[in-house]
Amino acid sequence: MTYLKAIIILVIITIGCTAFFLNSNDENPTNFVVIFTDDLGYGDLGCFGNPVIQTPNLDRMAAEGQKWTQFYVASPVCTPSRAALLTGRYPIRNGMTSSKHGVLFPGSTGGLPQSEVTIAEMLKQKNYATAAVGKWHLGHLKKHLPTTQGFDYYYGIPYSNDMNANRRGNEYRKESNEDPNFLMPTENYNVPLVKNLEEIERPVNQNTITKRYTEKAVEFIYSNKDKPFFLYLAHNLPHIPLYAHADFLGKSKQGLYGDVIEEIDWSVGQVLQTLKDLKLDKNTVVVFTSDNGPWLMFKTHGGSAGPLRAGKGTTFEGGQRVPTIFWGPEIVKPKVVQEMGSTLDLINTFAALSGTKIPNDRKMDGYDLSPILKGETDKSPRNEFYYWRRAEFHAIRSGKWKLHIKQTSPIVYWNKYEMERPELYEIESDIGEKYDRYESEPEIVAELMQKIEQHLEDTKDGMPDQLEARIKK
Protein backbone atom coordinates (compact mmCIF):
# COMPACT_ATOMS: atom_id res chain seq x y z
CA MET A 1 0.00 0.00 0.00
CA THR A 2 2.77 2.41 1.00
CA TYR A 3 4.66 1.41 -2.15
CA LEU A 4 1.57 2.19 -4.31
CA LYS A 5 1.14 5.56 -2.59
CA ALA A 6 4.77 6.41 -3.28
CA ILE A 7 4.31 5.54 -6.98
CA ILE A 8 1.18 7.72 -7.19
CA ILE A 9 2.94 10.66 -5.51
CA LEU A 10 5.91 10.23 -7.84
CA VAL A 11 3.60 10.25 -10.90
CA ILE A 12 1.85 13.40 -9.64
CA ILE A 13 5.18 15.13 -9.04
CA THR A 14 6.43 14.13 -12.50
CA ILE A 15 3.27 15.46 -14.20
CA GLY A 16 3.47 18.65 -12.12
CA CYS A 17 7.11 19.24 -13.01
CA THR A 18 6.48 18.58 -16.71
CA ALA A 19 3.60 21.07 -16.71
CA PHE A 20 5.75 23.59 -14.87
CA PHE A 21 8.61 23.32 -17.32
CA LEU A 22 6.28 23.44 -20.33
CA ASN A 23 4.96 26.75 -19.01
CA SER A 24 8.30 28.17 -18.01
CA ASN A 25 10.15 30.80 -19.99
CA ASP A 26 12.60 28.30 -21.41
CA GLU A 27 9.94 26.14 -23.07
CA ASN A 28 7.77 28.98 -24.32
CA PRO A 29 9.94 32.09 -24.29
CA THR A 30 8.41 35.50 -24.84
CA ASN A 31 9.41 37.24 -28.05
CA PHE A 32 9.63 41.03 -28.14
CA VAL A 33 8.91 43.50 -30.93
CA VAL A 34 9.40 47.23 -30.36
CA ILE A 35 7.94 49.44 -33.10
CA PHE A 36 9.43 52.89 -32.61
CA THR A 37 8.32 55.82 -34.77
CA ASP A 38 10.19 59.10 -35.20
CA ASP A 39 8.47 62.36 -34.17
CA LEU A 40 4.96 60.88 -34.04
CA GLY A 41 2.74 63.05 -31.85
CA TYR A 42 0.35 62.14 -29.05
CA GLY A 43 -2.58 63.24 -31.21
CA ASP A 44 -1.75 61.47 -34.47
CA LEU A 45 -3.49 58.10 -34.06
CA GLY A 46 -7.19 57.28 -34.22
CA CYS A 47 -7.03 55.50 -30.86
CA PHE A 48 -5.43 58.60 -29.32
CA GLY A 49 -8.14 60.91 -30.66
CA ASN A 50 -7.07 61.92 -34.17
CA PRO A 51 -10.32 62.67 -36.00
CA VAL A 52 -9.22 61.98 -39.60
CA ILE A 53 -6.05 59.88 -39.89
CA GLN A 54 -7.12 56.25 -40.31
CA THR A 55 -5.18 53.82 -38.12
CA PRO A 56 -7.37 50.69 -37.97
CA ASN A 57 -4.48 48.34 -37.17
CA LEU A 58 -3.19 50.45 -34.29
CA ASP A 59 -6.76 50.99 -33.05
CA ARG A 60 -7.30 47.20 -33.00
CA MET A 61 -3.91 46.68 -31.36
CA ALA A 62 -4.96 49.14 -28.62
CA ALA A 63 -8.36 47.47 -28.17
CA GLU A 64 -6.80 44.01 -27.92
CA GLY A 65 -3.94 45.21 -25.72
CA GLN A 66 -3.12 48.10 -23.41
CA LYS A 67 -3.21 51.74 -24.39
CA TRP A 68 -1.01 53.77 -22.04
CA THR A 69 -2.05 57.41 -21.76
CA GLN A 70 0.79 58.64 -19.51
CA PHE A 71 3.87 57.11 -21.09
CA TYR A 72 7.14 59.02 -21.42
CA VAL A 73 10.36 59.02 -23.37
CA ALA A 74 13.50 60.10 -21.53
CA SER A 75 14.38 62.89 -23.97
CA PRO A 76 12.44 65.13 -26.37
CA VAL A 77 14.88 64.39 -29.25
CA CYS A 78 16.06 61.32 -31.16
CA THR A 79 19.53 60.20 -30.05
CA PRO A 80 19.14 60.37 -26.26
CA SER A 81 15.58 59.00 -26.41
CA ARG A 82 16.77 55.91 -28.33
CA ALA A 83 19.71 55.39 -26.00
CA ALA A 84 17.36 55.50 -23.00
CA LEU A 85 14.95 52.95 -24.48
CA LEU A 86 17.70 50.46 -25.23
CA THR A 87 19.63 50.86 -21.95
CA GLY A 88 16.97 51.73 -19.35
CA ARG A 89 19.11 54.66 -18.22
CA TYR A 90 18.59 58.40 -18.42
CA PRO A 91 20.76 59.88 -21.17
CA ILE A 92 22.76 61.82 -18.56
CA ARG A 93 24.03 58.41 -17.43
CA ASN A 94 24.34 56.48 -20.69
CA GLY A 95 26.61 58.89 -22.55
CA MET A 96 24.15 60.05 -25.21
CA THR A 97 23.54 63.60 -24.15
CA SER A 98 25.50 66.81 -24.34
CA SER A 99 25.21 70.42 -23.29
CA LYS A 100 25.91 71.63 -26.83
CA HIS A 101 24.08 69.32 -29.23
CA GLY A 102 20.85 67.42 -29.00
CA VAL A 103 21.67 64.54 -31.34
CA LEU A 104 24.42 62.87 -33.37
CA PHE A 105 25.14 64.23 -36.86
CA PRO A 106 26.76 62.65 -39.95
CA GLY A 107 30.06 64.28 -38.90
CA SER A 108 29.93 62.83 -35.38
CA THR A 109 32.52 60.26 -34.45
CA GLY A 110 30.78 59.15 -31.26
CA GLY A 111 28.12 56.65 -30.42
CA LEU A 112 26.50 54.73 -27.59
CA PRO A 113 29.40 53.65 -25.34
CA GLN A 114 30.25 49.95 -25.57
CA SER A 115 30.11 49.83 -21.77
CA GLU A 116 26.33 50.28 -22.00
CA VAL A 117 24.17 47.13 -21.98
CA THR A 118 21.32 47.22 -24.48
CA ILE A 119 18.09 45.17 -24.36
CA ALA A 120 19.52 43.11 -27.24
CA GLU A 121 22.70 42.34 -25.27
CA MET A 122 20.67 41.44 -22.18
CA LEU A 123 18.46 39.02 -24.14
CA LYS A 124 21.59 37.26 -25.42
CA GLN A 125 21.71 35.70 -21.91
CA LYS A 126 18.94 33.46 -23.30
CA ASN A 127 20.25 33.33 -26.84
CA TYR A 128 17.60 35.50 -28.44
CA ALA A 129 17.88 36.21 -32.16
CA THR A 130 18.05 40.01 -32.42
CA ALA A 131 17.53 42.50 -35.24
CA ALA A 132 17.47 46.27 -35.59
CA VAL A 133 15.57 47.46 -38.65
CA GLY A 134 15.36 51.19 -39.37
CA LYS A 135 16.80 54.29 -37.76
CA TRP A 136 19.71 53.81 -35.36
CA HIS A 137 21.09 57.25 -34.50
CA LEU A 138 23.45 55.95 -31.81
CA GLY A 139 26.59 56.27 -33.93
CA HIS A 140 26.91 55.57 -37.65
CA LEU A 141 30.59 54.56 -37.77
CA LYS A 142 31.14 50.80 -38.02
CA LYS A 143 32.32 50.60 -34.42
CA HIS A 144 28.96 51.98 -33.20
CA LEU A 145 26.41 50.26 -35.45
CA PRO A 146 23.72 47.92 -34.00
CA THR A 147 25.78 44.79 -34.69
CA THR A 148 28.27 46.06 -32.06
CA GLN A 149 25.48 46.46 -29.50
CA GLY A 150 23.91 43.00 -29.34
CA PHE A 151 22.00 42.92 -32.63
CA ASP A 152 22.71 40.02 -35.02
CA TYR A 153 21.36 41.94 -37.97
CA TYR A 154 20.92 45.55 -39.03
CA TYR A 155 19.13 47.08 -42.01
CA GLY A 156 18.44 50.79 -42.04
CA ILE A 157 19.36 54.45 -42.27
CA PRO A 158 21.80 54.98 -39.37
CA TYR A 159 20.62 58.52 -38.54
CA SER A 160 17.86 61.01 -39.38
CA ASN A 161 16.36 61.03 -42.86
CA ASP A 162 16.85 64.82 -43.26
CA MET A 163 20.64 64.75 -42.85
CA ASN A 164 23.28 65.37 -45.53
CA ALA A 165 20.77 67.63 -47.29
CA ASN A 166 21.47 69.75 -50.36
CA ARG A 167 18.49 72.04 -49.86
CA ARG A 168 18.40 72.61 -46.13
CA GLY A 169 15.66 72.41 -43.52
CA ASN A 170 14.59 76.05 -43.81
CA GLU A 171 13.73 75.57 -47.45
CA TYR A 172 11.75 72.44 -46.68
CA ARG A 173 10.07 74.33 -43.89
CA LYS A 174 9.01 77.17 -46.15
CA GLU A 175 7.63 74.95 -48.88
CA SER A 176 5.97 72.42 -46.58
CA ASN A 177 4.35 75.18 -44.53
CA GLU A 178 2.61 76.30 -47.67
CA ASP A 179 1.69 72.88 -49.03
CA PRO A 180 0.59 69.86 -46.94
CA ASN A 181 1.37 67.63 -49.94
CA PHE A 182 4.83 69.07 -50.70
CA LEU A 183 7.22 66.30 -51.69
CA MET A 184 10.96 67.06 -51.73
CA PRO A 185 12.86 64.88 -54.25
CA THR A 186 14.33 62.04 -52.18
CA GLU A 187 17.76 62.55 -53.84
CA ASN A 188 18.02 65.79 -51.84
CA TYR A 189 19.12 63.78 -48.82
CA ASN A 190 22.37 61.92 -49.31
CA VAL A 191 21.64 59.41 -46.56
CA PRO A 192 22.99 55.84 -46.65
CA LEU A 193 21.17 52.54 -46.26
CA VAL A 194 23.28 50.12 -44.26
CA LYS A 195 23.02 46.33 -44.08
CA ASN A 196 24.92 45.01 -41.05
CA LEU A 197 28.15 47.02 -41.45
CA GLU A 198 28.05 47.81 -45.18
CA GLU A 199 26.49 50.68 -47.08
CA ILE A 200 24.22 49.23 -49.79
CA GLU A 201 22.43 52.28 -51.20
CA ARG A 202 23.04 56.04 -51.31
CA PRO A 203 21.06 58.21 -51.48
CA VAL A 204 18.27 56.03 -50.15
CA ASN A 205 15.04 55.97 -52.10
CA GLN A 206 12.93 57.08 -49.16
CA ASN A 207 9.64 56.71 -51.04
CA THR A 208 9.79 52.98 -50.37
CA ILE A 209 11.64 52.95 -47.05
CA THR A 210 8.69 52.19 -44.75
CA LYS A 211 7.64 49.34 -47.07
CA ARG A 212 11.17 47.94 -47.18
CA TYR A 213 11.60 48.12 -43.41
CA THR A 214 8.32 46.24 -43.07
CA GLU A 215 9.44 43.52 -45.48
CA LYS A 216 12.72 43.06 -43.59
CA ALA A 217 10.86 42.91 -40.27
CA VAL A 218 8.47 40.24 -41.57
CA GLU A 219 11.38 38.25 -43.06
CA PHE A 220 13.19 38.34 -39.73
CA ILE A 221 10.13 37.03 -37.86
CA TYR A 222 9.67 34.20 -40.40
CA SER A 223 13.28 33.11 -40.26
CA ASN A 224 13.33 33.11 -36.43
CA LYS A 225 9.89 31.65 -35.77
CA ASP A 226 11.38 28.64 -33.98
CA LYS A 227 13.56 30.54 -31.52
CA PRO A 228 13.12 33.46 -29.16
CA PHE A 229 13.61 36.81 -30.87
CA PHE A 230 13.78 40.55 -30.29
CA LEU A 231 12.95 42.84 -33.18
CA TYR A 232 13.60 46.57 -32.85
CA LEU A 233 11.74 48.16 -35.77
CA ALA A 234 12.52 51.89 -35.70
CA HIS A 235 10.86 53.73 -38.58
CA ASN A 236 12.60 56.85 -39.92
CA LEU A 237 9.20 58.44 -40.46
CA PRO A 238 7.19 60.58 -39.76
CA HIS A 239 10.36 62.68 -39.17
CA ILE A 240 10.57 65.23 -42.01
CA PRO A 241 11.12 64.98 -44.99
CA LEU A 242 7.92 63.01 -45.40
CA TYR A 243 7.66 60.14 -47.88
CA ALA A 244 5.04 57.47 -48.46
CA HIS A 245 4.78 54.61 -50.93
CA ALA A 246 2.68 55.32 -54.04
CA ASP A 247 -0.06 53.06 -52.61
CA PHE A 248 -0.61 55.59 -49.78
CA LEU A 249 0.14 58.95 -51.45
CA GLY A 250 -2.87 61.25 -51.53
CA LYS A 251 -5.08 58.74 -49.71
CA SER A 252 -5.49 60.32 -46.27
CA LYS A 253 -7.52 63.35 -45.23
CA GLN A 254 -4.46 64.99 -43.65
CA GLY A 255 -2.12 65.53 -46.57
CA LEU A 256 1.24 63.79 -46.84
CA TYR A 257 1.59 63.56 -43.04
CA GLY A 258 -1.64 61.55 -42.83
CA ASP A 259 -0.48 59.34 -45.74
CA VAL A 260 2.75 58.58 -43.86
CA ILE A 261 0.92 57.62 -40.65
CA GLU A 262 -1.53 55.44 -42.58
CA GLU A 263 1.40 53.60 -44.18
CA ILE A 264 2.97 53.08 -40.74
CA ASP A 265 -0.39 51.74 -39.56
CA TRP A 266 -0.38 49.31 -42.50
CA SER A 267 3.12 48.27 -41.50
CA VAL A 268 1.99 47.55 -37.93
CA GLY A 269 -0.82 45.42 -39.40
CA GLN A 270 1.71 43.40 -41.43
CA VAL A 271 3.81 42.67 -38.34
CA LEU A 272 0.83 41.64 -36.20
CA GLN A 273 -0.63 39.51 -38.99
CA THR A 274 2.70 37.73 -39.44
CA LEU A 275 2.77 36.92 -35.72
CA LYS A 276 -0.80 35.59 -35.95
CA ASP A 277 -0.09 33.54 -39.10
CA LEU A 278 2.87 31.88 -37.38
CA LYS A 279 0.89 31.44 -34.14
CA LEU A 280 3.50 33.56 -32.39
CA ASP A 281 0.87 35.99 -31.12
CA LYS A 282 0.55 33.76 -28.03
CA ASN A 283 4.07 34.35 -26.80
CA THR A 284 5.06 37.72 -28.25
CA VAL A 285 4.77 41.17 -26.72
CA VAL A 286 4.65 44.06 -29.19
CA VAL A 287 5.21 47.63 -28.04
CA PHE A 288 4.36 50.59 -30.27
CA THR A 289 5.61 54.05 -29.30
CA SER A 290 7.39 57.19 -30.54
CA ASP A 291 10.83 58.64 -29.79
CA ASN A 292 9.56 62.17 -29.05
CA GLY A 293 6.68 64.52 -29.81
CA PRO A 294 5.76 66.19 -33.11
CA TRP A 295 8.08 68.67 -34.83
CA LEU A 296 5.65 71.57 -34.68
CA MET A 297 7.64 74.13 -36.64
CA PHE A 298 7.01 72.04 -39.76
CA LYS A 299 3.30 72.74 -39.26
CA THR A 300 1.22 70.50 -41.55
CA HIS A 301 4.24 68.22 -42.03
CA GLY A 302 4.80 68.03 -38.31
CA GLY A 303 1.95 66.15 -36.65
CA SER A 304 0.04 66.99 -33.50
CA ALA A 305 0.51 66.62 -29.77
CA GLY A 306 -3.28 66.63 -29.34
CA PRO A 307 -4.24 68.16 -25.99
CA LEU A 308 -0.62 68.39 -24.79
CA ARG A 309 1.44 71.58 -24.65
CA ALA A 310 4.22 72.11 -27.23
CA GLY A 311 6.14 69.31 -29.00
CA LYS A 312 9.54 67.93 -29.97
CA GLY A 313 12.60 69.45 -28.32
CA THR A 314 10.70 70.69 -25.28
CA THR A 315 10.16 69.24 -21.83
CA PHE A 316 6.50 70.13 -21.95
CA GLU A 317 4.25 67.06 -22.19
CA GLY A 318 4.01 67.41 -25.99
CA GLY A 319 7.74 66.74 -26.24
CA GLN A 320 7.96 63.66 -24.06
CA ARG A 321 4.54 62.05 -23.55
CA VAL A 322 4.04 59.64 -26.45
CA PRO A 323 1.22 57.43 -27.75
CA THR A 324 2.04 53.94 -26.50
CA ILE A 325 0.42 50.53 -26.97
CA PHE A 326 1.38 47.12 -25.57
CA TRP A 327 -0.05 44.03 -27.31
CA GLY A 328 0.24 40.31 -26.65
CA PRO A 329 -3.07 38.43 -26.63
CA GLU A 330 -2.03 35.71 -24.16
CA ILE A 331 0.13 37.94 -21.99
CA VAL A 332 -1.19 41.52 -22.00
CA LYS A 333 -4.61 42.03 -20.41
CA PRO A 334 -6.68 44.50 -22.47
CA LYS A 335 -7.04 47.82 -20.70
CA VAL A 336 -6.58 51.56 -20.96
CA VAL A 337 -3.77 52.24 -18.49
CA GLN A 338 -3.85 55.72 -16.98
CA GLU A 339 -0.67 55.17 -15.02
CA MET A 340 2.86 56.42 -15.56
CA GLY A 341 5.28 54.39 -17.64
CA SER A 342 8.39 55.09 -19.70
CA THR A 343 10.53 53.60 -22.43
CA LEU A 344 13.11 53.45 -19.59
CA ASP A 345 10.98 50.60 -18.20
CA LEU A 346 11.17 48.29 -21.23
CA ILE A 347 14.47 46.67 -20.26
CA ASN A 348 13.22 45.75 -16.76
CA THR A 349 9.89 44.56 -18.17
CA PHE A 350 11.52 42.40 -20.85
CA ALA A 351 13.94 41.00 -18.26
CA ALA A 352 11.01 39.88 -16.11
CA LEU A 353 9.13 38.36 -19.05
CA SER A 354 12.19 36.58 -20.47
CA GLY A 355 13.86 35.44 -17.26
CA THR A 356 17.00 37.45 -18.04
CA LYS A 357 18.74 39.89 -15.72
CA ILE A 358 19.29 43.64 -16.06
CA PRO A 359 22.82 44.86 -15.27
CA ASN A 360 23.49 45.10 -11.52
CA ASP A 361 26.78 47.00 -11.67
CA ARG A 362 25.34 50.45 -12.47
CA LYS A 363 22.40 52.72 -11.74
CA MET A 364 19.30 51.77 -13.71
CA ASP A 365 16.24 53.98 -14.12
CA GLY A 366 13.50 51.55 -15.13
CA TYR A 367 10.71 49.61 -13.45
CA ASP A 368 9.18 46.23 -14.25
CA LEU A 369 5.78 46.90 -15.82
CA SER A 370 4.99 43.20 -16.41
CA PRO A 371 2.58 42.84 -13.42
CA ILE A 372 0.38 45.63 -14.80
CA LEU A 373 0.67 44.23 -18.36
CA LYS A 374 -0.51 40.84 -17.11
CA GLY A 375 -3.36 42.38 -15.11
CA GLU A 376 -1.93 41.28 -11.76
CA THR A 377 -2.09 44.86 -10.49
CA ASP A 378 -3.64 48.19 -11.50
CA LYS A 379 -0.79 50.25 -10.13
CA SER A 380 2.34 51.18 -12.01
CA PRO A 381 5.54 50.98 -9.99
CA ARG A 382 6.62 54.29 -11.57
CA ASN A 383 5.66 57.35 -9.55
CA GLU A 384 8.44 59.72 -10.63
CA PHE A 385 9.76 60.93 -13.94
CA TYR A 386 12.58 63.40 -14.61
CA TYR A 387 12.67 65.63 -17.69
CA TRP A 388 16.06 66.53 -19.11
CA ARG A 389 16.86 68.63 -22.15
CA ARG A 390 20.38 67.87 -23.31
CA ALA A 391 22.56 67.89 -20.17
CA GLU A 392 20.26 70.33 -18.42
CA PHE A 393 17.64 69.29 -15.88
CA HIS A 394 14.23 70.85 -16.57
CA ALA A 395 11.34 69.29 -14.69
CA ILE A 396 10.08 66.58 -12.36
CA ARG A 397 6.80 64.73 -12.32
CA SER A 398 5.90 63.10 -9.02
CA GLY A 399 2.46 61.54 -8.85
CA LYS A 400 0.02 64.05 -10.28
CA TRP A 401 2.34 67.07 -9.95
CA LYS A 402 4.87 68.43 -12.42
CA LEU A 403 7.35 71.16 -11.49
CA HIS A 404 9.35 72.97 -14.19
CA ILE A 405 12.51 74.73 -13.11
CA LYS A 406 13.60 75.36 -16.70
CA GLN A 407 11.81 75.55 -20.05
CA THR A 408 12.47 76.38 -23.67
CA SER A 409 10.35 78.33 -26.09
CA PRO A 410 7.46 75.96 -26.98
CA ILE A 411 7.99 75.90 -30.78
CA VAL A 412 11.49 77.17 -31.56
CA TYR A 413 12.92 75.11 -28.74
CA TRP A 414 16.56 76.07 -29.20
CA ASN A 415 15.71 79.66 -28.25
CA LYS A 416 16.82 80.43 -24.74
CA TYR A 417 13.94 81.15 -22.42
CA GLU A 418 14.40 82.47 -18.91
CA MET A 419 11.73 81.55 -16.40
CA GLU A 420 11.04 84.14 -13.71
CA ARG A 421 10.35 81.34 -11.21
CA PRO A 422 9.42 77.66 -11.31
CA GLU A 423 5.96 76.61 -12.53
CA LEU A 424 3.81 73.88 -10.99
CA TYR A 425 1.09 71.97 -12.82
CA GLU A 426 -1.39 69.36 -11.62
CA ILE A 427 -0.70 67.35 -14.72
CA GLU A 428 -3.45 64.74 -14.49
CA SER A 429 -6.33 67.21 -14.62
CA ASP A 430 -4.38 69.99 -16.38
CA ILE A 431 -2.97 67.89 -19.22
CA GLY A 432 -2.17 71.01 -21.28
CA GLU A 433 0.03 72.62 -18.59
CA LYS A 434 -2.08 75.79 -18.56
CA TYR A 435 -2.80 76.57 -14.92
CA ASP A 436 0.26 77.34 -12.83
CA ARG A 437 -0.26 76.37 -9.17
CA TYR A 438 3.15 77.48 -7.89
CA GLU A 439 1.82 80.24 -5.63
CA SER A 440 -0.95 78.18 -4.04
CA GLU A 441 1.00 74.96 -3.33
CA PRO A 442 4.23 75.91 -1.53
CA GLU A 443 4.46 72.57 0.29
CA ILE A 444 4.25 70.56 -2.92
CA VAL A 445 6.86 72.83 -4.49
CA ALA A 446 9.21 72.33 -1.52
CA GLU A 447 8.74 68.55 -1.66
CA LEU A 448 9.45 68.42 -5.39
CA MET A 449 12.47 70.71 -5.09
CA GLN A 450 13.90 68.27 -2.59
CA LYS A 451 13.33 65.33 -4.97
CA ILE A 452 15.07 67.31 -7.72
CA GLU A 453 18.08 67.83 -5.47
CA GLN A 454 18.19 64.10 -4.73
CA HIS A 455 17.98 63.26 -8.43
CA LEU A 456 20.76 65.70 -9.33
CA GLU A 457 22.92 64.18 -6.61
CA ASP A 458 22.06 60.70 -7.91
CA THR A 459 23.00 61.58 -11.51
CA LYS A 460 26.14 63.57 -10.83
CA ASP A 461 28.27 60.58 -11.81
CA GLY A 462 26.94 60.91 -15.39
CA MET A 463 29.27 61.33 -18.34
CA PRO A 464 28.83 64.91 -19.61
CA ASP A 465 32.53 65.44 -20.29
CA GLN A 466 32.71 62.35 -22.46
CA LEU A 467 29.57 63.42 -24.24
CA GLU A 468 31.05 66.65 -25.43
CA ALA A 469 33.74 64.67 -27.18
CA ARG A 470 31.28 62.11 -28.50
CA ILE A 471 28.74 64.41 -30.09
CA LYS A 472 30.16 66.79 -32.65
CA LYS A 473 28.23 68.55 -35.33
CB of 290 to Mg ion, least distance (A): 8
Please confirm, yes or no, whether 137 is among the known catalytic residues: yes
Looking at the Cβ atoms of 78 and 369, the one nearer to Mg ion is 78
Looking at the Cβ atoms of 290 and 459, the one nearer to Mg ion is 290
CB of 393 to Mg ion, least distance (A): 21
Give the active site residue among 17, 47, 78, 245: 78
Residues found near Mg ion in the complex (CB under 5 A): 38-39, 78, 291-292
Looking at the Cβ atoms of 66 and 292, the one nearer to Mg ion is 292
Looking at the Cβ atoms of 135 and 470, the one nearer to Mg ion is 135
Give the active site residue among 17, 47, 101, 137: 137
**CA–CA separation, 211 vs 53, rounded Å?**
19
Looking at the Cβ atoms of 294 and 462, the one nearer to Mg ion is 294
Position with the least CB separation from Mg ion? 78
Please confirm, yes or no, whether 17 is among the known catalytic residues: no
CB of 119 to Mg ion, least distance (A): 19
CB of 81 to Mg ion, least distance (A): 7
CB of 395 to Mg ion, least distance (A): 19
CB of 322 to Mg ion, least distance (A): 10
Looking at the Cβ atoms of 129 and 322, the one nearer to Mg ion is 322
Which residues are designated catalytic?
78, 137
